[in-house]
Structure 1
């Protein structure tokens, strides 16, 4: 791995730190998006993701998975690992995630 490549676990932690700056612990479920791109098998990704309970959308070489979930480290780590394994399995690039800030 190159030094300029940030691991997904580190990127996840950076997003959680940004949420924490706004008073968000990540434990409240919220709309969360996961981004995939590349020339791999988006159709198979969509099928597996739908079976796992995600909404899917996208076109051509991009897929976005949507769900409502908590994003604290304990809840999110297994989902992040699953996204990385799906990317590898379907020869796609997993480009990370985003969610809304929830402070209640």
Structure 2
């Protein structure tokens, strides 16, 4: 089984568990990155993401979205769902996210 076989909500929970191991509850906003790959429509993803307040960067077959946000489950779940819907809408692979550890 690869990471791509694990549903995003489970992967999100695994990242939050790793943060918690370092004393990070996820409630403090921090720099967060979201990764998209594939042959789909990166230009349209970039446009929609910028309108939603994300910084965007990437090349022909990859896009990275950046923002500052809390990553606790309540704050993050709607953003994760949005990333998954954007991937489907623009025929891209949403590979997940990463963020810095912030201890309170």
Q: Name the TM-score class by shorter chain.
A: over 0.9
Find the counterpart in structure 2 of residue 13 from structure 1: 13
Q: CA deviation at 1:72?
A: 0.1
Secondary structure of residue in 2 paired with 1:15: helix
Find the counterpart in structure 2 of residue 98 from structure 1: 98
Counterparts of 1:65-80 in structure 2, within 5 Å, are 65-80=65-80
Q: CA deviation at 1:11?
A: 0.1
Deviations 1:28-71, CA, capped at 9 Å, x for gaps: 00000000000000000000000000000000100000000000
> Structure 1 length as normaliser, TM-score?
0.96
- Distance across 2 between alignment mates of 1:10 and 1:24: 18
Q: How many residues align?
A: 102
Find the counterpart in structure 2 of residue 60 from structure 1: 60
Structure 1 moving runs of 4+ over 3 Å? none
Secondary structure of residue in 1 paired with 2:86: helix
> Structure 2 length as normaliser, TM-score?
0.96
Unaligned runs of 5+ in 1: none
Find the counterpart in structure 1 of residue 82 from structure 2: 82
Unaligned runs of 5+ in 2: none
Secondary structure of residue in 1 paired with 2:5: coil
- Distance across 2 between alignment mates of 1:8 and 1:35: 13
Secondary structure of residue in 2 paired with 1:96: strand
- Distance across 2 between alignment mates of 1:52 and 1:73: 20
